Amino acid sequence: MKEIQIPAGHAMLDGNFTDVDQAKALILFAHGSGSSRHSRRNQFVARSLNDAGLATLLFDLLTPEEESVDLYTREHRFDIGLLAERLVHATKWAKQQRQTCDLKIGYFGSSTGGGAALVAAAELPNEAFSVVSRGGRPDLAADALPKVKAPTLLIVGGEDRAVIELNEQARAHMKCECKIDIVPEKRRDSDGEPSDCGNQRDPAGKNTRENEQHNCSGEGDVNRPGNHGAVRQTDVPSEPRLR
């Protein structure tokens, strides 16, 4: 793993890049609100993807200063335009690096990062070849949804009824290949992580690896900082909603 910094306009974003021998693709992670590149679940998924021959880039969508403000005001966590813009900057940065310039790009977004990943994929149709959203809010991509061309997998926990509905609404507006995978919930520890994240049925690790390999070789609680579990119904804001 290599620590890197990504220029994004006036901001400088910290990230962790992991390369693998003969990488098939590069997967960029867009973390959820209140989360960061240090999310244990995303790190677990990244290691699974590395084992499958995919390079990964986990990076902070916000600067430390922005995170400090957002902790109290929450003004950035639902700014999908800003989060998507940061992901676009990271994608363009990766295409300029010697190690990654020839790799196909996939996005893995969780929570609000799922919406940001879809907006970025719509803006960069020739770069983004695959999108996976885990417990995400694709509905927040709104008008960008019909413009997404990359095959998309939406992974949602079976207990997240409100989020399932939002994902179904989003899929109805998409014109690309799109699948929803509803997986059983697991007991979570005090940090919101699955207590048995090494289980073979881990939804993010297994399904993401299969989706990224197929498409690229050819997060957290939305309101509570520090919780990287699935979005729960009481935490889902009512707007914006797709009609």
pLDDT computed for residue 71 by the predictor: 86
pLDDT tens-digit readout, 42-73: 889 999 999 999 999 999 999 999 988 888 88
Looking at residues 134-157, what average pLDDT do you find?
96
Partnered with residue 183 across adjacent β-strands are: 157
pLDDT computed for residue 195 by the predictor: 33
Find, among 179, 181, 193, 149, the residue nearest to 32 by Cα: 193
State yes or no: pLDDT of 114 exceeds 60: yes
pLDDT computed for residue 186 by the predictor: 52
Q: Per-residue confidence at 232, pLDDT binned at 50, 70, 90?
A: very low
Q: Per-residue confidence at 215, pLDDT binned at 50, 70, 90?
A: very low
Helix, strand, or coil (residue 237): coil
Q: Find the helix or strand (DSSP H, E) in which 55 lies.
A: strand 55-59
pLDDT tens-digit readout, 162-176: 999 999 999 999 999
Contact 77, 26 (CB under 8 A): no
Long-range contacts, 207-210 (Cβ 8 Å, 24+): 207/132, 207/153, 207/155, 207/181, 207/183, 208/45, 208/48, 208/49, 208/108, 208/132, 208/134, 208/153, 208/155, 209/48, 209/49, 209/52, 209/54
Q: What is the mean pLDDT of the chain?
A: 80
159-190 core/surface letters (b: 16 or more CB in 10 A; e: else): ebeebbebbbebbebbebebebbebeebeeee
pLDDT computed for residue 35 by the predictor: 66
Domains and CATH numbers, the chain: 2-235 (3.40.50.1820)
State yes or no: pLDDT of 103 exceeds 60: yes
| Tokens representing residue 49 in the block | 């993807």
Residue 218, exposed/middle/buried by CB under 10 A (0-12, 13-18, 19+)? exposed
* % pLDDT > 90, the chain: 63
Find, among 214, 198, 205, the residue nearest to 183 by Cα: 205
d(CA 231, CA 61): 19
Poorest-confidence range of 101-105, 127-131, 209-213? 209-213
